[in-house]
Amino acid sequence: MSETTPADQIPLPGGSFRLFVTRLSYQAMMSLGILENPITNTKQVQLQNARMLLDDLQMLQDKTSGNLDPDEQEHIDKVVHDLEHAYGQIEAGAVDPTAEG
């Protein structure tokens, strides 16, 4: 690709299990208010959406168990664990991810 190729003509990567899990985790982190939404430039906690995404990741973890290479398994296990922990902390009111500081 040359430097003059428009962004909408650059092919997006796909077909990678790690990348797929990472995309879902970014969506969950935005729903938890950990990451800023790049469209609205704001952080918002949307626990129902975060719960849905975490449930999807847990289902994916269960359904792919025994079919992943060790690196993929470690990645999804860590992502699910970290998101479960963050969700629990935010749901309990122990942390406010949208607070500046």
Phi, psi of 71 (to 5 degrees): -65, -45
CB 28 within 8 A of CB 50: yes
Q: What is the mean pLDDT of residues 41-69?
A: 96
24-37 residues labelled b (16+ CB within 10 A) or e (exposed): bbebbbbbbbbeee
Helices 17-31 and 70-91: angle between axes, nearest 10 degrees: 10
- H-state helical runs in 32-69: 47-64
Q: What is the pLDDT of residue 98?
A: 75
**pLDDT of the residue at 11:** 67
Distant-in-sequence contacts of 91-94, Cβ < 8 A, 24+ apart: 91/47
State residue 44 phi and psi, 5-degree precision.
-135, 140
What pTM was computed for the model? 0.81
Q: Among residues 79, 84, 94, which one has the least CA distance to residue 18? A: 79
pLDDT tens sequence across 36-50: 999 999 999 999 999
Domain locations in the chain as residue ranges: 16-91
Higher local confidence (pLDDT), 15 or 61: 61
Statement: residue 99 has pLDDT above 60: yes
The yes-or-no verdict on residue 1 having pLDDT over 50 is no
